[in-house]
């Protein structure tokens, strides 16, 4: 059947799509190392994008996706899915746990990462990207990072920021221009 | 690079709009310029996320009953079936909708249109598809509203839809339009969809069988998401 076409989310989605707690993925009971991931979204002139939202989706600390595993589904306290709008400075933040790497038969493991979709006014369809963790040994053999030009890989790797409370990671999303984020063909 | 006839033809068949669409000005600084990378295999095989919807109440699916009084405007029933590309219904899927009020104004701090707010209308709804992939919600017909994309620019009446399907890549955010709207041929967002079939996929149909006597006009809007359940997901 003919698919329904995509259209922009526009500027007025906030009350409909963003609810308190949507950006907190590590619900009580979720096993793993607690982390936060924050960053800003910028446009092609380096201006913050204050009317975007990000959806992230990730495996649990053992590398399983809740939707793919009956046991995980049954005791679901970790959906692996979160949504966060950007604020007036273009900033977003998620609280979650460090995902595990994903082992698949017949191919190299995907290093720990979050899948990301970016929605905004001016985006007629979502931009699809990933957030990896800089310094993770598995990045060196990750099949997706390996296909990205070495000088652009840093746009997919969050950096650790010093903090006493817990592990905080930082990665900006640049929609266009210098240091443009690597996006996948959706 | 000049666009060849074959490329033009291919674009006509494409369903989704491109990221860069010069007639829609907001795309100019927000569309990537670097080549897109191949979609990772793992993403192709991911199921859609499963998450708690909170408690959906009947009010979530009836935007005319979320306040003490009734909103002004023409009452409408919008209903349809959510399907995959194989035509299989998608049960139990979350649909989120949002829209302007009858005067063309959103209840959003960023909406500077000087049309009145309606104290009895928020314009946000949520509904789950049933076992047959069918959904239904009640609202009022949204008004057209101006935007500053170009001189005298007006958005055709529309309802925003956000949908999850079976696969992670089934995710869709779109807009539903109304048949016969004279603003459709002038709207850069609607016309960002390259093919006629794709544009038609966004227009609801007036449906007398959904229309409730003495109460509300019915519009049917079936939605087809990327993916096909007949193709087993790779593991
Ligand atoms: Fe709108």
CA–CA min distance B5, chain A (Å) = 23
Question: For residue A10, how far is its CA from the centre of ligand 1 (angstroms)?
Answer: 6
The answer to whether the Cβ–Cβ distance between B32 and A181 falls below 8 Å is yes
Residue of chain A minimizing CA distance to B197? A2
**Of B202, B83, B71, which Cα lies nearest the Cα of B140?**
B71
Q: Is the pLDDT of residue B53 over 90?
A: no
Q: Any idea which of A74-83, B99-108, B110-119, B161-170 has the lowest mean pLDDT?
A: A74-83
Q: At A173, is the pLDDT very low, low, confident or very high (cuts 50, 70, 90)?
A: very high
Residues 6 or more apart in contact with residue A171 via CB below 8 angstroms: A37, A39, A131, A156, A157, A158, A159
Question: For residue B172, how far is its CA from the centre of ligand 1 (angstroms)?
Answer: 16
pLDDT of res. B77: 98
Question: For residue B158, how far is its CA from the centre of ligand 1 (angstroms)?
Answer: 6
Distance CA B158, CA B141 (A): 8
C-alpha A99: how far from chain center: 11
Q: At B234, is the pLDDT very low, low, confident or very high (cuts 50, 70, 90)?
A: very low
pLDDT digits (tens, 9 = 90+) for B112-124: 999 999 999 999 9
pLDDT digits (tens, 9 = 90+) for B129-155: 999 999 999 999 999 999 999 999 999
Q: Is the pLDDT of residue B235 over 60?
A: no
B81 inside 8 A of chain A by CB: no
Residues of A in contact with B97 (CB under 8 A): 16
Q: At B55, is the pLDDT very low, low, confident or very high (cuts 50, 70, 90)?
A: confident
pLDDT of res. B5: 61
Q: Is the pLDDT of residue B36 over 70?
A: yes
- Transcribe A97-129 into DSSP letters: EPPPPEEETTEEEEPSEEEEEEEETT-SS-EEE
Residues in chain B: 235
The predicted model gives B166-191 an average pLDDT of: 97
Question: For residue A21, how far is its CA from the centre of ligand 1 (angstroms)?
Answer: 25
CA–CA min distance A92, chain B (Å) = 17
Residue of chain A minimizing CA distance to B42? A110
Residue of chain A minimizing CA distance to B149? A122
CA–CA min distance A29, chain B (Å) = 15
Residues of B in contact with A107 (CB under 8 A): 41
The answer to whether the Cβ–Cβ distance between B17 and A104 falls below 8 Å is no
Whether B107 and B121 have beta carbons less than 8 Å apart is answered as yes
Q: At B6, is the pLDDT very low, low, confident or very high (cuts 50, 70, 90)?
A: low
pLDDT of res. A162: 79
pLDDT of res. B232: 44
pLDDT of res. B233: 46
The predicted model gives A25-32 an average pLDDT of: 83
The predicted model gives A141-147 an average pLDDT of: 95
* Higher per-residue confidence, B230 vs A46: A46
The predicted model gives A137-149 an average pLDDT of: 95
pLDDT digits (tens, 9 = 90+) for A81-114: 999 999 999 999 999 999 999 988 777 889 999 9
Q: List the single residue in B42, B172, B189 with the smallest CB-CB distance to A102.
A: B42
Question: For residue B157, how far is its CA from the centre of ligand 1 (angstroms)?
Answer: 8
Annotated active-site residue B106? The verdict is yes
B228 inside 8 A of chain A by CB: no
Q: List the single residue in A5, A81, A143 with the smallest CB-CB distance to B193.
A: A5
Whether B14 and B194 have beta carbons less than 8 Å apart is answered as yes
Residues of A in contact with B16 (CB under 8 A): 5-6, 124-125, 186
The answer to whether the Cβ–Cβ distance between B40 and A144 falls below 8 Å is yes
Q: Is the pLDDT of residue B21 over 70?
A: yes
Give the A:B interface size as CB pairs under 8 Å.
215
Q: What is the pTM of this model?
A: 0.94
Residue of chain B minimizing CA distance to A21? B54
ipTM of predicted assembly, 2 dp: 0.94
Provide the mean pLDDT of chain B: 92
Q: Is the pLDDT of residue A168 over 70?
A: yes
A172 inside 8 A of chain B by CB: no
pLDDT of res. B175: 98
């Amino acid at each position: 059947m003919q698919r329904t076409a995509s259209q922009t989310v526009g500027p007025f989605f906030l009350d409909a799509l963003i609810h308190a707690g949507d950006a907190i993925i590590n619900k009580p009971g979720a096993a793993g190392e607690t982390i936060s991931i924050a960053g800003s979204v910028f446009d092609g002139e380096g201006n913050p994008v204050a009317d975007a939202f990000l959806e992230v989706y990730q495996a649990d600390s053992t590398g399983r996706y809740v939707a793919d595993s009956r046991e995980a589904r049954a005791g679901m306290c970790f959906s692996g899915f979160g949504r966060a709008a950007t604020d007036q400075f273009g900033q977003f933040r998620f609280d979650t746990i460090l995902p595990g790497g994903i082992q698949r038969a017949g191919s190299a493991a995907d290093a720990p990462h979050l899948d990301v979709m970016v929605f905004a006014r001016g985006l007629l369809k979502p931009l699809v990207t990933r957030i990896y963790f800089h310094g993770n040994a598995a990045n060196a053999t990750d099949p997706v990072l390996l296909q990205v030009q070495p000088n652009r890989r840093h746009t997919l790797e969050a950096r650790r920021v010093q903090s006493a409370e817990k592990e905080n990671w930082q990665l900006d999303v640049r929609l266009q221009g210098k240091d443009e984020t690597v996006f996948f063909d959706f | 690079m000049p666009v060849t006839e074959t490329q033009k033809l291919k674009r006509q068949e494409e369903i989704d709009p491109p990221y860069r669409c010069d007639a829609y000005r907001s795309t100019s600084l927000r569309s990537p310029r670097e080549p897109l990378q191949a979609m990772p295999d793992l993403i192709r095989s991911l199921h859609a996320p499963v998450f708690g919807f909170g408690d959906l109440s009947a009010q979530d699916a009836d935007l005319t009953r979320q306040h003490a009084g009734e909103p002004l405007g023409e009452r409408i029933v919008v209903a349809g079936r959510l399907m995959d590309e194989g035509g299989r219904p998608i049960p139990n899927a979350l649909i989120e909708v949002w829209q302007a009020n009858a005067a063309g104004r959103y209840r959003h701090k960023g909406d500077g249109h000087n049309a009145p707010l309606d104290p009895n209308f928020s314009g946000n709804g949520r509904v789950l598809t049933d076992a047959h992939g069918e959904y239904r919600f009640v609202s009022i017909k949204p008004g057209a509203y101006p935007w500053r994309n170009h001189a005298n620019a007006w958005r055709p009446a529309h309802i925003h839809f956000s949908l999850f399907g079976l696969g992670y890549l089934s995710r869709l955010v779109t807009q539903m339009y109304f048949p016969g709207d004279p603003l459709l041929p002038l709207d850069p967002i609607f016309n960002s969809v390259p093919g006629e079939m794709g544009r038609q996929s966004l227009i609801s149909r007036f449906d007398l069988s959904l229309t409730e006597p003495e109460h509300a006009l019915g519009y049917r809007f079936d939605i087809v998401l990327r993916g096909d359940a007949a193709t087993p997901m790779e593991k």
